[in-house]
Amino acid sequence: METKTRNLIRLFLSIILLILAFPLASQEAFPQKIEWKSNANALEYKVELENLNTGKKEIITTEKTSAELSLPPARYRYRVHAYDFLGKEASLSAWTNFEVFKASKPKINKIERKLQVPKDGGSIGISVDIADVNKNSKFELVNESLNGIISASDKMNMGQSSSETDSISHLDFKNVPPGNWRLRVTNPSGLSSLSDIIVVDGEKMFTDVEVALIREEAVKETEEKVRREMEEKLSAEIEKAIALHDLDKEKAEADRLEAEKRAEEERLEAEKRAEEERLEAERAAEEAERLAEIARAEEEKRAKEEAKRAKEEEKRRRKLEKKKNGYQWKDFILEGGLGLTMRLYDESFKESYDESFSPALNVRAMYLPKKTESRKIGLEVCYFNQKFTHETNFLAAELISNVFDAKIVWQQKLVPAMYLQLKGGAGINMLQKSISYSSSYLARTASDDATYYYPLAAGNLSIFCNALKFIVFEVGADYKHVFAGSSAFGMVTPYACAGIRF
């Protein structure tokens, strides 16, 4: 009877203490601390603290270089007075501002309790009504059976305040497997709340990582469950044995042995159940792995089909584009024509040969890669051939000029299909001289042949026309200055060409 009365008293006191402690447990104390650099001459410090919201000031005296505070949420500033052993002020710091934010326990007022996983395994949205949070709060779905934690991938309608006073109405989570989940909300202050169970329905194709995690967590959970059951039951049996210590020792020993026997049997039974659960977990993991393999194969098949469709689509697009636009001109042009070369200066050249004019054969190749609507820029290579002769009673002289040059081409559209051309560049002039003597000239009978190579500068002004698709025409004049040492000479060649455009 006395033991029963004591137990009732203990129960009553426990209920009273629980009632008194509940309001205190709902409010967490968050002390603050401010620190400053020490002063070698300071004996003590006085901290001048001001509440900027209310204007209230207070003085804190300490011999340390820090002060422990417990302030309500508000904006504050402080400065530190250092005093030496004579009581004189040794230094005064500048004002330092800081702010104390409100710490709150999250309030989960409302939450969607039943959700469906999308067929594509994408994210799910949860409608909530959660108060007393801020932008740095953590929103997590927790699942005890999978030992999984999934953080929110998006936070909508959140304020920017650092105080834990904001609210949120919607959360998004990615890759949530079906099961029973709870929403855990944790504020930066460390205070947190846990929701009721949220049921998530749907099918889930597990990845290799998830399969490995499920297998590992299942084994850990089974081992932990067995260990807890053994500890709880062993503790219960030990307490029961201690409570009966006043009974007969032989009976107590028999009871202890019986309890140990039952505990051993229960341990063996628990191990058996644990092994069965482990095997079941392995079978579930293997099934999940099989489903994941099927999902991978289907994904690879879809990817191949998509690549094949994209390739066919690109082929059709190019075919339609080619059909629409026709032949794509590359502006590569080959031309050939005739001209008339005229010597401009160098009297020694003029005196040595009879003709001042000579027919000239020219061949051109032009490529214009840079194009706009009204302008083209490219490169031209050109070959000219002309011959000059001179005959007397004693000799017959012949001079063949072969000109090879490369020029930059600039075309400006004048009217549709007609362009003004300016060209400039450099090249080589190969002069082949041949002199044959008569038998009466100083008894010389052998001919005098020689070949010379001289650099030259070239310029051009011409009109280019491509009125026909494949046929082009060009009319203009080439100017060349040959650097032949002291006998440098110039030539101008009006010409006309026709060619083919590719």
- Which residues 6+ apart lie within 8 Å of 310 measured at CB? none
**CA pair distance 183, 152, nearest whole angstrom:** 10
| Short-list 493, 488, 458, 449, CA closest to 474 | 493
* pLDDT tens digits for range 330-382: 689 999 999 998 888 765 566 556 556 789 999 999 999 998 888 999 999 99
Q: Tokens 């901290």, residue?
A: 47
Whole-angstrom distance, CA of residue 428 vs CA of residue 401: 10
Per-residue pLDDT band for 208 (boundaries 50, 70, 90) equals: low
User: What amino acid is encoded at 111 in this protein?
Assistant: I
What mean pLDDT, rounded, does the chain reach? 81
- Helix (H/G/I), strand (E/B), else coil: 91: strand
State which H helix or E strand residue 399 sits in.
strand 395-415
Q: Which of 5-14, 85-94, 271-280, 340-349 is predicted with the least confidence, judged by mean pLDDT?
A: 5-14
Look up residue 338 and give its two tokens. 């005739």
Tell me what pLDDT residue 308 has: 92
Angstrom distance (rounded) from CA 276 to CA 279: 5
Contacts of 332 (CB under 8 A, 6+ apart): 365, 366, 367, 501, 502
Q: What is the pLDDT of residue 16?
A: 43
pLDDT > 50? residue 19: no
What is the Cα–Cα distance from 212 to 208, expressed in whole angstroms?
Answer: 6
Task: Select the highest-mean-pLDDT range: 112-121, 225-234, 356-365, 418-427.
Answer: 418-427
For the cut 80, the answer to whether the pLDDT of residue 116 exceeds it is: yes
Find out whether 389 and 426 touch, Cβ atoms under 8 Å: no
pLDDT per position as a tens digit, 55-75: 999 999 999 999 999 898 889
Provide the pLDDT for residue 160. 64
* Phi and psi torsions of 221, nearest 5°: -65, -40
Q: 230 is written with which tokens?
A: 């053994």
Between 154-168, 180-194, 338-352, the lowest mean confidence (pLDDT) is in 154-168
